Each structure stands twice: as structure tokens, then as C-alpha cells.
Amino acid sequence: MGNAKQPDKKPFIAYVIGVIVIMLLLNTFLVPAIVRRNIKEVDYSTFLNMVANKQVEAVQLDSDYITFTDRSSPSNFYRTATFEDPQLVERLEKADCTFGRVVTETNPILAFILSWVLPLVFFYGIGIFLSRRLMSNMGEGFGGGNPMMSFGKSGAKKYVPSTTSIKFQDVAGEEEAKQLLQELVLYLHDPQKYADIGASCPKGALLVGPPGTGKTLLAKAVAGEAEVPFFSIAGSEFVEMFVGMGASKVRDLFSQAEKNAPCIVFIDEIDTIGKKRDSGALSTNDEREQTLNQLLTEMDGFDGSKGVIILAATNRPDVLDPALLRPGRFDRRIPVELPDLQGRIDILKVHAKKIRVAYNVNFETIAKTAAGASGADLANIVNEAALRAVRMGRKVVNQEDLQESIEVVIAGYQKKTRVLSEKEKLIVAYHEIGHALVAAKQSNSAPVQKITIIPRTSGALGYTLQVDEGDKYLMSKTEILEKIATFTGGRCAEELIFGSITTGASNDIEQATRLARAMITQYGMDDDFGMVALSTQNNIYLGGDSTLACSPETAKLIDDTVVRVVREQHDKAKKILEDNIGKLHQLAKYLYENETITGEEFMSILEK
Ligand code: ADP
Ligand code: MG
Ligand code: ZN
């Protein structure tokens, strides 16, 4: 692959040529001027006088000049124009001069150092400095190696394959993804077997899923299972300051991979370079486009039977360039979804192995409470629990640690230092009970698990935790409406009890509105609009914001309907609270005094 690197050396060669030219110029003009500065011009009669007085030691006879030295101080040079003088030799002999030989004006070694070695060192230094600057500008740590040789080498880094010890068993849940990847592992174990039949293995697989679900982990596990080298690079590392550098990095990566085959190349967050190329004429990004093109070319170019597999991960599959996804490139799409209940239990257990856990910890309860948590969240929960155990001076992690750290990870750190005024605390207590009571009095709401009015660093002054039994994939219209009613319940309680309202409901309002809007524009649950998609979902794996796709008149109608839906639910919630005002007071008082109540306590007071 020697010729693949040819273009990288161009800047280096240009630099060397530049240095040589500059040094030649210096040596012809500047250095002689400096070195000969202490030559004294004298006239011929002075010369003859000095010869007669035996002051002259060595004499060099050139065609134009006579150069000579002073006997008493040999570093003083004199020069005089040549003169038609037939007696010159005789005079010189008489005065005991050495003559005719070349007189070196300075120490030859010194002259050499001055005119060649010093400038070379100087330019070498500048070269290093420049190449360092370039590299650091591009965000490249460039330790080791010969800096001069790497100057201008497009910042391409040496890709060092790593072998990981991560195995499939370290990835819990995600059975489907593991099964799909298993075939790649088998292939990497014995590429020849596939080549013999003539089957070409998939060149690439794309791991797709929300953040923190273990995509990176799975890729590493494939390498660990197949016991082959693993080249890992983030998509953002290809994005360079100069056009063409990203592309040359891609070239480098693939040539390295081919040398190390069988191996795995893993490009994390590939959406940074793999975005659709036509996305908006305003921001044409030549560099990114070139990099992507190079990637496409490399993927086509290399021999599939060699045993190089390219894995990539993204949470924005919708923005990827279609060319990346066509057969022969990342034609396999492996979904890596948020874990279900069993998956969450398994993930908790995998991570709990790394810490000391009390024997009686019930992972199922923890997993149930942490609905919607990703693998990364769960790993974080386990770690927070261990930290808490240490803080508490215990040697093992118990149930309470885990329970508490769910709240840490999901709701932010419990903030004991923030003190609410008594009045504020009372308002928050009524607000939260308002949510819980409305939820409990509706038939399809998830049961209340916990209510607290201890402020969190996330800014929430209190919250009501509702936990569904098992996992839910479908929501009925009634459930959505009841959810909206539950969201408005907090504000309703404030209105009822205090006659005024506070800012504490802003998050509730946002969520209620979002639900109502989605109900109409996405789920087709409004009778007036029917089953018409009025909005398009953008990045489904990243929170999923949506844009309206309808006429301005319809948009106005939608707004009106959203207002109507939320108001109806608000009225319903208010009615529920009015009917149960005794319980509202009783529960709010209890919460105010205890700050935290569990679902069971809540239900027992409610049913008493
Ligand atoms: P992403 O999908 O964003 O690439 P990562 O693979 O980086 O997520 O996951 C981050 C961390 O979360 C992992 O290092 C691991 O500790 C934990 N994790 C995520 N999913 C799982 C899983 N299925 N099993 C075990 N640990 C997981
Ligand atoms: Mg990742
Ligand atoms: Zn609220």
C-alpha cells in the first residue's frame, strides 16, 4: 500500500526544498558578509610597508586581490588590489612570508557549522514546531514518533489495533442484536470457510439505537469473541480542519486494517461524517463530503474475502446518507433498543457482579422502578449505589442504596441543603398529592410508587413516582387523557386550596401539552382530524421532537384542539379533587410532615 501514502509526503518534500534554497542564498550572500567583515582594505603601498617591516605573515595571491595576515595578530586580515609588481616574490621572500598558499579566513570547521549545521538545526526546530502546531490545532495528540517525518502527513494517526476482553456475556439483554452479530463472529473465526463456498460475508453492520444501550459495548464484544484486532475510531475524529485530511485518515485506517486482517473496524457515531450529502445548500461541507466519499470508496474497494468487517454505530439512522446503507456497505442494520424488564434485571446483575451486594437485594423491584432506563443508566445506578454504601460506611450495597440511586440518576441528587420555606413546602405537598390523587382516582393510571417533597438538584421541588406493572408498549386514548389529567392535578390542587397558582407546574404543563399534541398530530386520536399524520417525527432515538406538516389554518385548529383537550382534563381533575377534598387535606398533611411517603402508605390512607 506504499503508493497510497504518496500524497502525504508532498508537504514534507516542499519544506525540505524550501530549506535548501534558503540556505544556499544565505551561504552566498549573508554568511560571507558576516565572516569577511573584519577584513581591512589597505592600499598597495601600505602592504609593501608592512612587508618591509616584517609585519606580514601569510599572503594569498589571487588574480584580483592579495589577502594577507598580520604577524602579531593572525586573526586580522588585510586585503589589497593586485598590482603589477615583478619584485613582489622577492620582497616576500626577503620578509620571510609564506605566500601563494590559500589562506583560510576563518576556521573551516567553524565556517561549516555557521553556514550549514546551525541553519539546519534551526529549520529542523521550526519544522517540529509547525508540525506540532498543526497537529494540536486538529485536536491530535501526537506523542512519539519522529515529528519531522510526520510533518504534513495529514495528521493520519497510527491505528493500533486493540484486543478487548469483553465478551457477549458482558452485554446483558439485547439477545436479538447478539444473535445477528454472532454470524459475523463465526465468519471472523474462519473467513476461509466462507471463501471456499464463494459466499461473501456482509462487509458492514450498523448498530442503531438510542444512546447508552450498549452499541459500543456490543462492537467491542464482537472483537472479543472473535479474538481479532479491533480498530476503533469515532466519526468526529475524521472531521479535520483542512480539506482532504479526513479522507486521508480514512485511507490510512483501511490500509492498516487490511494489513491486520482478519480484524474489525469500528466507526462510532458515524452520523458525524455520514450525514446526507444534499442536506441544505447553505452548508456545503467539502471536507465532510470528501471524507464520506473516501469511506464509500474504501468500503467498495477492499476485498470482502480478506476478513475485514466494518461495524458502525449511530443513534441518528435517519440522517445517514442512503449510499452508506446500500447493499455491500452497511447493509445490515442491527437494532439495539432500550432494555425491557428482564433485560434491565440482567444488566443490573451484570454490573452488580463488579461490586459487593447484599445477598437479599431484589433486582426485580429495582428494575421495575427504573422503567425506561438505558444500560448506561443502570450501570450508573449500580455505581451510585456503591458510592452511597461507602458514604454510609457500609461494606456491602443494600436494597436501599440501589433504590435511592435510581432517584439520583433519574431525578438528580437529593438536595438536603436547599431549604424550602414552610409555606412553599405546604404548597408543594398539596401539588404532589394533587397529582397522586387524580392518578389514583382514575381507573387506568399507573399506581403511585412514591411521593416526595425533598428538592432535587435537577430543580424539581418534589415528585410523584408512578410505576407501571410490567412494560407498556401501547397506550389507549383513555390512558393518555388520564395522564394529561394527572399532569394537571398538581396545579388544580393549588387552585383549590390556596386560590392562587405558582410556577411549580411548568414541567407538568409542558408534558401535558406535548401529550395532547402528540395525541392529535401523531396518534390520530382526535375525532375532528381522524387518522391523518399532521407532523413528522425527527430523530426518533433522541427524544423525538416533531415538526408540523400541515397548512397554517390546520396548525391553528390543532392549537385550539390542544387547548380544548387540556382544559377538559383540567376540569376533570379539578372535579376529582373537589370530590375528595377531605383526603387531599389528610394526605397533604401527612406528606408535609413526613416529606416522603410510599405507595402503600398512600393507598392505606386513601382507603381508610
Ligand atoms: P452506546 O449505545 O451509547 O454506545 P455504550 O455501549 O457506550 O452505549 O454503553 C455505555 C455503558 O453502559 C457501557 O459501558 C456499559 O457499562 C453500560 N451498558 C449499556 N448497555 C449495556 C448492556 N446491554 N449490558 C451491560 N451493560 C450495558
Ligand atoms: Mg457509543
Ligand atoms: Zn407537578
Secondary structure in 3-state letters for 228-274: CCEEEEEHHHHCCCCCCHHHHHHHHHHHHHHHCCCEEEEEECCHHHH
Could you list which residues have their CB under 5 Å from ion ligand 3? 490, 508
H helical segments located in 499-597: 506-521, 552-579, 581-594
Q: Is residue 134 pLDDT above 70, yes or no?
A: no
pLDDT tens for 548-578 read 788 888 889 899 999 999 999 999 999 999 9
Whether the Cβ atoms of residue 603 and residue 441 lie closer than 8 Å to each other: no
pLDDT, tens only, 13-48: 787 888 888 888 877 776 666 655 567 888 888 888
CA nearest ligand 1 atom 12, residue: 376
Cα–Cα dist 104/603, whole Å: 108
For the chain, list the domains and their CATH numbers.
38-105 (3.30.720.210), 157-277+286-335 (3.40.50.300), 341-411 (1.10.8.60), 422-607 (1.20.58.760)
DSSP, collapsed to helix, strand or coil, labels residue 296 as helix
Query: What number does the ligand 1 atom closest to the CA of 171 have?
Result: 24
* Nearest-atom index, ligand 1, CA of 218: 6
Specify which of 485-489, 520-524, 545-549 reaches the highest per-range mean pLDDT.
Answer: 485-489
Q: Residue 390's CB: how many other CB atoms inside 10 A?
A: 12
Atom 6 (ligand 1) nearest CA: 214
> Which ranges in 262-318 belong to alpha helices (H)?
271-274, 286-301
Grid coordinates in use for 440? 389514583
**Is residue 221 over pLDDT 80?**
yes
User: Distance from the CA of 430 to the center of ligand 3, in angstroms?
Assistant: 10
Burial of 599 (0-12, 13-18, 19+ CB in 10 A): middle
Confidence of residue 142 (pLDDT cuts 50, 70, 90): very low
* 167, 176, 213, 378: residue to mutate for ligand 1 pocket, most atoms within 8 A of CB: 213
CA-based nearest residue to 343, from 313, 302, 373, 309: 373
Best mutation site among 206, 217, 271, 381 for ligand 1 pocket (most ligand atoms within 8 Å of CB): 217
CA of 602 to the centre of ligand 3 (A): 17
Question: How many Cα atoms within 13 Å fall on the side-chain side of residue 118?
Answer: 10
Each residue's pLDDT tens digit, 300-346: 877 666 778 889 999 888 888 888 888 778 878 888 888 878 888 99
CA distance 494 to 429: 10
Percent above pLDDT 70 for the chain = 83
Residue 143 has pLDDT above 50, yes or no: no
Ligand 2 center to 210 CA (angstroms) = 9
CA of 351 to the centre of ligand 1 (A): 10
Per residue in 475-497, pLDDT (tens digit) is 889 999 999 999 999 999 999 99
Kindly state the percentage of the chain with pLDDT values over 90.
18
pLDDT value at position 37?
Answer: 55
CA of 491 to the centre of ligand 3 (A): 7
- Rounded to whole angstroms, the Cα distance separating 448 from 465 reads 6
Protein residues within 5 Å, CB atom, of ion ligand 2: 216
Considering only CA atoms, which residue is closest to atom 14 of ligand 1?
217
Q: Ligand 1, atom 7: nearest CA belongs to which residue?
A: 216
pLDDT reported for residue 240:
66
**Residue-level pLDDT at 323:** 83
How far apart are the C-alpha atoms of 153 and 151, rounded to whole Å? Answer: 5
Ligand 1 surroundings by CB, under 6 angstroms: 171-174, 211-217, 313, 347, 350, 375-376, 379
CA of 253 to the centre of ligand 3 (A): 52
The pairing of beta strand 56-61 with beta strand 98-99:
parallel
Q: Nearest 5°: phi and psi at 58?
A: -115, 145
Cβ neighbours of residue 59 under 8 Å, at least 6 residues apart? Answer: 66, 67, 68, 92, 97, 98, 99, 100, 103
- Local structure of residue 102 (DSSP, 8 states): P
**Residue 342: CB partners within 8 Å, gap ≥ 6?**
173
Is 214 within 8 Å of 221 (Cβ atoms)? no
Banded pLDDT at 3 (limits 50, 70, 90): very low
432 is catalytic: yes
pLDDT of residue 539: 64
> What is the pLDDT of the chain when averaged over all its residues?
80
Q: Which of 297, 237, 226 is nearest to 263 (CA)?
A: 226
Burial annotation 565-581 (CB, 10 A radius, 16+ → b, else e) = bbeebbebbbebbeebe
- Tell me phi and psi for residue 178, to 5 degrees: -65, -40
CA pair distance 377, 63, nearest whole angstrom: 90
Three-state DSSP at 61 gives strand
The number of the ligand nearest the C-alpha atom of 463 reads 3
Q: How confident is the model at residue 150 (pLDDT cuts 50, 70, 90)?
A: very low
Convert 321-350 to b/e letters by CB count within 10 Å (16 or more is b): bebbbeeebbebebebbbbebebbbbbbbb
Nine-digit cell string for 61: 595571491
In the DSSP assignment, the letter for residue 162 is B
pTM, entire model: 0.61
Which residue in the list 57, 269, 432, 482 is annotated as catalytic? 432
Q: Whose CA is nearest to atom 25 of ligand 1?
A: 171
